[in-house]
Structures are given as C-alpha cells and as structure tokens.
Amino acid sequence: MSEPLEEILSLYQHENREIANVDEPQCSIVLFKQADKNFAFYGSQIKEILAERPVSWVPGCPPSLEGVINHRGRVESIININSLIDAPSQEVSAKRTILIGRGNKMQSGILIDKLVDVLDVAESQIQPATDNLPASMQKIVVGIVPVGHEYFALLDLDSVFERYLESSGYAS
C-alpha cells in the first residue's frame, strides 16, 4: 500500500492541468516617518540611505533647503521636506536619516525623521491615492501602501522635487 501523499500526487500527475503563474510584479519601497506621519518613496528613486551626518548651512537658501553635505567628494544638497508635505516644522531630533534621491531632473538628499523599512511589495497592493487628500498633497502622493496595520502615503520623488523647485523660486 502506498503512502497517502503519493496517492494524491499520482492523481494529479495524470490530469492535464495548466499551471497558472501567480508571480506578481513587485516593487521596492522605502518607508519612513516624517512629522509623525507615514510616507514612502519608490526604492528605484532612492539611490542611498545615509546615517545622519553634519549638514552645512548655506546663507540665503530657501527654508526648505537644510544645507549641503560632502558625500563621496561631491556636494549634495539636503532638502527638508516638512514644508513640501504640509508638515509643521519640528525641533530637530537627535538622529535623522538622509535619503539620496535621484529624479528625472535633479538629485538631492532628503532629510527624514525616521527610516521604518525597505521592502518589496506587490504592485497590486498599492492603492490609488484618495481624493480627500489636501490639494497640495494630491500633486505628490501617487498611492497608498498598506503595511501591517499602518498605511503609508507613497510620494513621487519627481513631484516632490518639482514642488521644491517651485517653492524655492528655482522652477523655470
């Protein structure tokens, strides 16, 4: 007498079934907290994640430009996105992280309060952004990502950079 598992497998072996591909397209996302709110960027737009380092203030810069850093022999601007995401300016916390983001038209560091995680999600999990977002956020939020019991607003880096340039008076 054969094993029960072998019997079951032998039944399936003789059936003519097509195998469905259940692989879904995945994308990497970088989850972070800013002003106690949950946000995310597409991982493809974030080139590096840096531990906090000293940011040199540059006189005459707009408030959303925190300053610059020397990163691998290159001067990299550091943006504070609080005003771009309609978050109140907060007291600078002891440890903050810098995301080096590269968009279509610019590259810059983005100062964030706390890195939560970097993970792969199925593209089908990304829900469309809702219409009840404030008008300023509708321009930069491209979706909502559920992770566990929390939801993260997925930001488009190019739209964030565009908003930064507009608010700083650098847009053409």
Number of domains comprising the chain: 1
Residue 49 to residue 61: CA distance in whole angstroms = 24
List per-residue pLDDT tens for the chain, 172 residues long. Answer: 456 666 666 665 555 555 545 678 899 999 999 988 999 999 999 999 998 788 898 898 888 898 999 988 899 999 988 878 877 665 555 578 999 999 998 999 999 999 999 999 999 999 998 878 777 788 899 999 999 999 999 999 999 999 998 887 766 5
Query: Is 52 a domain residue?
Result: yes
Query: Is 111 a domain residue?
Result: yes
Query: Is 140 a domain residue?
Result: yes
Residues of the domain holding 157? 24-168
pLDDT value for 21: 52
Query: Is 18 a domain residue?
Result: no
Query: Is 17 a domain residue?
Result: no
The CATH number linked to 114 is 2.40.50.180
* Token digits of residue 70: 């020397």
pLDDT value for 9: 62
pLDDT value for 54: 85
pLDDT value for 12: 59
pLDDT value for 157: 96
Alpha-carbon distance values, 80 to 50, 73, 92 (Å): 15, 22, 11
Mapped onto helix, strand or coil, the DSSP state of residue 141 is strand
Query: Is 11 a domain residue?
Result: no
Alpha-carbon distance values, 22 to 18, 84, 119, 147, 172 (Å): 12, 39, 19, 21, 46
Query: Is 14 a domain residue?
Result: no
